[in-house]
């Protein structure tokens, strides 16, 4: 079962993220803890707010239901939208788990004091840098920011593509690049850009890309499709979307990925992640869900079906996917906690007319 998605997420999410600290109501600790009391029967249900799309995670949630007997209700939406909803609902939220596309939304909800501390053993299942420094959320699967390019118009990406994102401001790229500025992962990348480059350089980059008249899309999938069809030469996406097209259309699909070697914000490695609300009424079920996602079966699902990087050791990835350890050598060095200021990024994008 899923809840209907909200409307007007961007404006609402921006306002609520900026006012996070003022929106969390107080109530007694015993009430905030929620869940079944000592000696009370466990409720076999779970409510998830998912910033990951149903097409990506619906099957693994269904598998969890089948294997545990726990009935799951899911509200799907944009990660920033759902973070805003959680901040508005505060301790009265029906959600048990917040499953986010990127660390930005998780960081905003964590900063508002709404996420519970996760067990140390659960956090220890993934590398330390892929979990909250203070233990309120844990990474589930990894993805790399990449440039997807048309392999007919660009036959030698090492020479024909920029080494860093700054290269796309060259007038030679006018009308040739695609981006999805309302997408959560794009906004997380820009948030990282602000942390690495600073506010002024980031604003300048965004303005100069705007001047180059990029093609605007609503999603990463739409960008990859457009690049494969030759409508644009390149686009800014997460790595795994290309592999979904290759799996469906074969090796003749006209696009490939290029991982920017410059070590800037364009070579960011991020994670999807999950945290449990302090107010969760189904705490044990929530922890069981997170454990399931980090189990060998759960991690293999992300490797095989969504073409992401498993974060737990010993799980194989699809053929042709560069090892995460190799990408780490050229990836930008940034703490994922620095991706939390999504509200500031949205404000910047709004002020520049990149989004409305």
Arithmetic mean of pLDDT, 130-154: 96
Is the confidence at residue 186, as pLDDT, over 90? yes
| Domain contains 337 | no
Q: Are residues 216 and 306 in the same domain?
A: no
For the record, the structure tokens of 236 come out as 């800014």
Shared domain check, 148 and 137 = no
User: Which CATH number is 232's domain given?
Assistant: 3.40.190.10
Does 329 fall in a domain? no
Residues 27 and 176 placed together within one structural domain of the fold: no
Do 85 and 24 belong to one domain?
yes
Structure tokens given for 176: 């040739």
Residues 11 and 132 in one domain: yes
Asked whether residue 208 falls in the same domain as residue 298, the answer is: no
The upper half-sphere exposure of residue 72, i.e. CA atoms within 13 Å in the direction of its Cβ, equals: 24
Residue 225 has which token pair? 């499709």
Q: Are residues 291 and 193 in the same domain?
A: no
**Residue 340 placed within a domain:** no
Residue 40 resides in a domain: yes
Could you tell me the pTM of the whole model? 0.82
Residue 11's domain comprises 2-142+271-321
Same domain for 212 and 129, yes or no, is: no
**pLDDT 10s digits, 31-65:** 333 344 444 444 589 999 999 999 999 999 999 99
Q: How confident is the model at residue 184 (pLDDT cuts 50, 70, 90)?
A: confident
Please count the structural domains in the chain.
2
In a domain, 201, yes or no: yes
pLDDT at 174: 98
pLDDT score of 328: 83
pLDDT tens string 344-355: 999 999 999 999
* Residue owning tokens 């997408």: 183
Average pLDDT value for residue range 159-169: 97
Listed in sequence order, the DSSP H helices in the chain are 9-18, 20-23, 29-33, 54-68, 79-89, 103-111, 120-123, 157-160, 184-197, 199-211, 220-228, 240-249, 283-293, 296-305, 324-328, 342-351
């Amino acid at each position: 079962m899923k809840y209907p998605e909200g409307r007007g997420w961007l404006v609402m999410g921006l306002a609520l993220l900026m006012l996070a600290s003022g929106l969390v109501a107080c109530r007694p600790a015993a009430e905030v803890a929620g869940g079944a009391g000592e000696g009370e029967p466990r409720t076999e249900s779970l409510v998830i707010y998912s910033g990951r799309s149903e097409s990506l995670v619906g099957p693994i949630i269904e598998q969890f239901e089948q294997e545990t007997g726990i009935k799951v209700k899911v509200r799907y939406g944009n990660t920033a939208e759902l973070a805003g909803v959680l901040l508005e609902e505060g301790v009265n939220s029906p959600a048990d788990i917040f499953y986010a596309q990127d660390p930005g939304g998780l960081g905003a909800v964590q900063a508002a004091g709404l996420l519970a501390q996760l067990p140390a053993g659960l956090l220890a299942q993934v590398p330390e840098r892929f979990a909250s420094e203070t233990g309120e959320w844990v990474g589930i699967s990894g993805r790399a920011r990449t440039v997807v390019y048309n392999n007919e118009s660009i036959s030698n990406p090492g020479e024909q593509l920029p080494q860093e994102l700054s290269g796309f401001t060259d007038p030679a790229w006018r009308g040739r690049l695609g981006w999805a500025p309302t997408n959560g992962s794009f906004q997380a990348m820009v948030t990282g850009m602000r942390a690495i480059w600073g506010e002024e350089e980031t604003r300048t980059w965004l303005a100069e890309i705007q001047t180059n008249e990029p093609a605007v899309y609503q999603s990463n999938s739409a960008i990859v499709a457009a690049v494969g069809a030759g409508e644009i030469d390149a686009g800014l996406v997460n790595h795994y979307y290309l592999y979904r097209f290759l799996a469906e259309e074969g090796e003749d699909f006209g696009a490939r990925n290029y991982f920017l070697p410059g070590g800037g914000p364009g070579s960011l490695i991020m994670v999807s992640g999950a945290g449990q609300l302090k107010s969760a009424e189904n705490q044990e079920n929530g922890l069981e869900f997170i454990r399931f996602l980090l189990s060998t079966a759960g991690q293999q699902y992300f490797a095989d079906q969504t073409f992401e990087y498993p974060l737990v050791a010993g799980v194989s990835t699809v053929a042709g996917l560069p090892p995460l350890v190799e990408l780490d050598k050229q990836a930008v060095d940034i703490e994922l906690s620095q991706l939390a200021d999504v509200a500031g990024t949205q404000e910047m994008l709004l002020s520049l007319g990149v989004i409305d």
